[in-house]
């Protein structure tokens, strides 16, 4: 049995990265983060890849976010995991080729962040998207949300930490299309194929222009530095030892 928590494949110019830890609701632990970052590096260098799609093998959820049940040895390991989250967000945000996220089911916390770091998003009809930064105290989310839906809506989503359905996500600009839950990945691949049909040099150049004028790459990097420092010198994400001590 494979110990891999993700999978990577390429077909017709489209790289498909899947989170495959459905028993844990695709919560991201250190090993999964390392695999995802490695897949992005592979796709970045592969000239055959024109578009990258991020999905999961369970249409009930793309990802529930960070795995707060992960057993980490010490504070240094917790800071390293947070650095991996920041690196993943930055790598996706600055990925030179177009990216599409299949947002089915639970897309929460870190799961919502990786979705928003993609260029395009297809929502499943069962989408439940949530940015719980205000509830958990995590200083993350603003860098990418402001670009996607504007300052006012970003404040609404981040400060309320409310759960957003597929219809509301479409209305707010968080997703660009909605598909039946079990066909979300299929719809994301279809959208990727539309993009892949265009000359890759033109598509890459347009994405570079948009990012340069918007400043999202620099905002993402600044936010990432802040979240790592928050983990290092602030309260940080909750973990099993702390939960046991407080019970």
247, part of any domain:
no
**Model confidence pLDDT, tens digit, residues 49-63:** 999 999 999 999 999
pLDDT band at 240; cut points 50, 70, 90: low
**What mean pLDDT is predicted for residues 112-116?**
98
User: Exposed (0-12), middle (13-18) or buried (19+): which is 194, by Cβ within 10 Å?
Assistant: exposed
* DSSP 8-state symbol, 12: T
Count of structural domains within the chain: 1
Domain-located, residue 22:
yes
Residue 32 belongs to a domain: yes
Between CA 159 and CA 96 the distance in angstroms is: 31
Please report the DSSP string for 84-109 in residue order.
HHHHHHHHHHT-SS-EEEEE-BEEET
- pLDDT digits 0-9 by tens, 18-47: 999 999 999 999 999 999 999 999 999 999
* CATH number where 47 lies: 3.90.226.10
143 domain residue, yes or no: yes
Burial class (CB in 10 A: 0-12, 13-18, 19+), 184: buried
pTM attached to this predicted model? 0.94
Residue 133: pLDDT over 70: yes
Share of the chain above pLDDT 90, in %: 91
Q: Is residue 1 part of a domain?
A: no
Residue 100 lies in a domain: yes
Q: DSSP letter at 6?
A: E
- Tens-place pLDDT, residues 172-205: 999 999 999 999 999 999 999 999 999 999 999 9
Q: State which residues form the domain around 172.
A: 6-184+193-240
- The reply to whether 245 falls in a domain is no
Decide: residue 1, CB within 10 A, 0-12 exposed, 13-18 middle, 19+ buried: exposed
Burial class for 88, CB neighbours closer than 10 Å (0-12, 13-18, 19+): buried
């Amino acid at each position: 049995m494979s110990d891999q928590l993700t999978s990577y494949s390429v077909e017709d110019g489209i790289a498909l990265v899947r989170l495959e830890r459905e028993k844990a609701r695709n919560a991201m632990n250190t090993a999964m983060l390392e695999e995802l970052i490695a897949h992005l590096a592979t796709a970045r260098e592969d000239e055959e890849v024109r578009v990258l799609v991020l999905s999961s093998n369970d249409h009930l959820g793309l990802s529930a976010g960070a795995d707060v049940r992960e057993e980490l040895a010490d504070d240094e390991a917790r800071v390293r995991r947070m650095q991996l989250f920041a690196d993943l967000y930055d790598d996706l945000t600055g990925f030179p080729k177009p990216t599409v996220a299949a947002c089915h089911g639970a897309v929460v916390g870190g799961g919502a962040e990786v979705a928003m770091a993609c260029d395009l998003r297809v929502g499943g009809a069962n989408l439940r998207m949530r940015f719980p930064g205000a509830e958990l105290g995590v200083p993350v989310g603003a860098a990418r949300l402001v670009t996607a839906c504007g300052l006012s809506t970003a404040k609404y989503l981040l400060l309320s930490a409310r759960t957003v359905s597929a219809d509301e996500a479409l209305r707010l600009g968080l997703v660009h299309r909605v598909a039946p839950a079990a066909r979300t990945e299929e719809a994301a691949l279809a959208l990727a194929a539309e993009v892949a049909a265009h000359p890759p040099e033109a598509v890459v150049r347009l994405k570079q222009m948009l990012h340069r004028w918007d400043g999202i790459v620099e905002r993402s990097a600044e936010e990432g530095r802040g979240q790592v420092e928050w983990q290092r010198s602030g309260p940080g994400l909750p973990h099993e030892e702390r939960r046991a001590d407080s019970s």
